[in-house]
Structure 1
């Protein structure tokens, strides 16, 4: 099956699943390494945002810089998780996470039309919301193992997005715009459900 068809079908399926009501992976966390590894796979908010960062990296950044967006995301997410663990709290984190999915969809749709540095700043902004949720819901006693797991799983999802995008590099710009729009629509559906 053509990569463009696979990409379009995956984006449509993710959007439909989101609209159907699968929600956030943040109602509460356990604290083991296994829990951390599983966590990013438990909600579409994580899946969509993490894979989108990988897609955008391969689409918008030169090959030698593709590692930067996943690294920025992971670093900002971990910093925010540690801040939340230390007591930093912001209202509306779940709304911000839904908005981050929309933002990641916009990044994918825009691709190279946005400067890499601006895109990396937006990736970091999206990561902050995810990190705040992780840190706020994990007790200090088991945070290190949990954090190691969610960092590894997040990096794996970024890698999956990168691998998919590298295979799909020759797709027309319209396919990327549609994929980004589908990701953004998934985020918009989540946002509507959380408001």
Structure 2
């Protein structure tokens, strides 16, 4: 359990350490890859969804790599699509809620269905990221960070699968509550507009 908390702490601190030097003179546009890499760490919604994909895969899937691979691939497709629209942020919030619930309850489903569900959510995450990052090296950095976050979630999920069913329920439930809060915030913004 101590390893899980150490990994979670490292994931929270890494972006702060890396971004502490991003404003130094002489770095300029060469930071596109780093900026893209740090981007998924900058928002709780994306960070939680990417960790949740790995977590759920580690807790409930036989082919633990399939859902994370689907997410990373379709995240890139969504980012390159250039489409945005009003559904992007509500779908990002819904993904955090659903992925958290899937992890909390260790729900199993056929690999193709899991990859399709996760891939659908990834399209919306990609659209949100792509609108913020543009194209090029920043997208490569984003996909690399996504893979890292999936791997971290997967390692946590595999540890919790073996040692702590209560821990997986708490972590998945916390992610789901974050998604619920994000969704309520989205609805409130739509009503106010």
2:41 aligned with 1:41: yes
For residue 152 of structure 2, what is the aligned residue in structure 1?
Answer: 160
Q: Which runs of 5+ in 2 are unaligned?
A: 13-28, 188-193
* Selected match of 1:99 from 69, 85, 94: 94
For residue 161 of structure 2, what is the aligned residue in structure 1?
Answer: 169
SS state at 1:137 partner: helix
Deviation, structure 1 residue 157? 0.5
Larger Rg: 2
CA distance in 1, matches of 2:113, 2:170: 21
Deviation, structure 1 residue 116? 3.0
- Preserved CA contact (<8 Å) 1:107 1:119: no
CA distance in 1, matches of 2:43, 2:107: 28
Could you say what the CA RMSD is over the residues aligned between the two structures, in angstroms? Answer: 2.5
SS state at 1:156 partner: helix
- Preserved CA contact (<8 Å) 1:103 1:126: no
Alignment of 1:64-143 (within 5 A): 65-84=63-82, 88-139=83-134, 143=135
For residue 24 of structure 2, what is the aligned residue in structure 1?
Answer: none
- Preserved CA contact (<8 Å) 2:61 2:108: no
2:176 aligned with 1:184: yes
- Preserved CA contact (<8 Å) 2:160 2:167: no
SS state at 2:105 partner: helix
For residue 24 of structure 1, what is the aligned residue in structure 2?
Answer: none
- Preserved CA contact (<8 Å) 2:36 2:133: no
- Preserved CA contact (<8 Å) 1:100 1:129: no
Alignment of 1:145-156 (within 5 A): 145-156=137-148
Query: Which one has more relative contact order, counting CA pairs under 8 Å at least 6 apart?
Result: 1
Q: Which runs of 5+ in 1 are unaligned?
A: 15-29
TM-score normalised over the length of structure 2 = 0.76
TM-score normalised over the length of structure 1 = 0.75
1:48-105 CA distance string (max 9 Å, x none): 111111111111122xx21111110001110111111xxx333231121111111111
